[in-house]
Structure 1
């Protein structure tokens, strides 16, 4: 039988998970990947380095060499990087007898290599180029890339869906909520019959004159300024919506104080009557406002509340505009003086 001598560096390149042992069972050399997984094996006996799971061997040199060419399942007693509560990795191995009753055990990762790969941060550099584990690592990397791209796509879809949902309930010009958002929210409040709330309808006075004399761009500028004023005058959490060309609706949750809404309506009218600049020209408007309160009704109905607030609004217009009125549950409107 021919005998060849192989340098350990060559052996490490060809069998990076191999272990060499003497006739006495002492480990004399391990490959670089073996050392990475379970450092410090050199100089120890086989029984102190490995736990032979199947077949169950004593770890003596003679006992191990008897299983030459057969598959072993082993655990490395000093495996590193084991998370708390987890056990040793199970590896596969084959025994190769050498001259002078020495031996070599070449190891490979088990049927589920993912745990060991992650635990010891093994890469393709830790295996030979022809090792099937290199292909497995490629598949893991490809899977990770696909998963990462899927997550990014999913995130973009979520963002697009969120943006679409937001756009569906937002007035494009003013950034306020739109009629759909107001109808949905008011519908929920009337169905749930929770805390009291107030409803305010606003229609701009003289806005058509601005559009007719100065153009729609000036009208848009006025609407943007109206939206800014309304946001500033309501409380945090109240809803402000543009529900028509020059119509707005305000919803005041957790509010049973009609006097508070009358004060707010007065301030809104006062601020809207200040001139709004448009390219050096003054745009002048005002507002007629109708108010109603959920506490006025024994049974809440969204359409009834909106209708009564509209009735109060038109009562303000009939009385000369630039006023606010309060709708009572019997359908009558009590005229309130301008704030």
Structure 2
């Protein structure tokens, strides 16, 4: 068998091999070995310049290399990455063959060098282990994708649970959680209760579809008037609550209320008809109620709202501790009789 035929045979049987001459220089290298060092001229280099022999120790020459017990070698590349190998050495008439086909860590083979099944002989156990790695990677990827979908579904479900389906605003459940979080963190805020005037008339004259359209337009106006970190929630049929974190300036709040009232008084078109409403508003500051309970703050804003409606509607009032619900619009009276 010629040297060329032997090299071709070795490349098929153990593609991670080196053929050395009598002086210990590489005269032929398998395709996989060349792939490990694409920028280095392996052929022609001295084997002991390429690799450090870890076992047996103190191997400094080709003669000492050939004397390795059972031809077993533990090697490590001298340059980076300093990958380690287990190898077997078989002497030839003039030189030797070093086989490292199953001597590389598969983590290094896949991670550092991107080797695949094509880089190993078909009989190598590495093939089976690579299949296991690929199967595990595929299973992990499928698991990650499933977790992403489940997390997305969870977020969507949570978002739906805290969202008013008609307007896309936060609902009462979301409002309660936000208020609890602000109160627990001692975040100062203002709470504005908004109730639409004459909304019942729209429903009675033009129908509920018109009423739904008006509510959606009102939601859009409220989001437009408020800041990005404010919370706008629909808490009842035509009732809304706006939470302004870190805002307690009465002049600024009153200006927001007046701007909102002005926008709400602009007629809203629906199927060629004009829907005319207005808004009454009551505001309480988070430090106005001793104890700072969410329910107490909502009740205080409600009292301020009652005062605004009692004062002529389309107005805004701040809560005052002296406020009580007037008999004409007490809580015993259905809210739709005040619209």
Band of TM-score, shorter chain: 0.7 to 0.9
Given the alignment of the two structures, is residue 137 of structure 1 paired with residue 130 of structure 2, yes or no? yes
Among residues 248, 259, 271, which one is paired with 1:279 in the alignment? Answer: 271
From 90, 97, 110, the equivalent of 2:84 is 90
Aligned: 1:323 with 2:318: no
Provide the C-alpha distance between the structure 2 equivalents of 1:119 and 1:218, rounded to a whole number of angstroms: 65
C-alpha RMSD over aligned residues:
2.6
Alignment of 1:195-274 (within 5 A): 195=188, 197-274=189-266
- 8 Å CA contact 1:68–1:96 kept in 2: the answer is no
Runs of 4+, deviation exceeding 6 Å: none
On the 8 A contact 1:178/1:242 being kept in 2, the answer is: yes
Q: What is the CA distance between 1:92 and its match in structure 2?
A: 1.4
1:187 pairs with one of 180, 183, 192: 180
- The answer (yes or no) to whether the contact 2:304–2:323 under 8 Å persists in 1 is no
The answer for unaligned runs of 5 or more in structure 2 is 327-339
Following superposition, the deviation at residue 241 of structure 1 comes to 0.9
| 8 Å Cα contact 1:46-1:60 kept in structure 2 | no
Of stretches 304-313 and 240-249 in structure 1, the one that deviates more from structure 2 is 304-313
SS in 2 for 1:300: coil
Partner of 1:64: 65
Deviates more, 1:120-129 or 1:184-193: 184-193
Give the aligned partner of residue 21 of structure 2. 22
- Judging changes above 3 Å, is the alpha-carbon distance between structure 1 residues 291 and 52 closer, same or farther for their aligned structure 2 residues? closer
In 2, Cα distance between the equivalents of 1:147 and 1:231?
42
Whether the 8 Å contact between 2:87 and 2:103 is mirrored in structure 1 is no
Q: Render the CA deviation track for 1:94-136: whole Å, top value 9, x for unaligned.
A: 222223x532222234373311443222222221122222222
Structure 1: 5+ residue runs without aligned partners? 335-339
Aligned position for 1:337: none
- How far off its partner does 1:332 sit? 5.0
What TM-score results when the alignment is normalised by the length of structure 2? 0.85
Name the SS for the 2:100 alignment partner. Answer: strand
Instruction: Evaluate the alpha carbon distance shift between residue 89 and residue 191 of structure 1 in structure 2; reply closer, same or farther with a 3 A threshold.
Output: closer
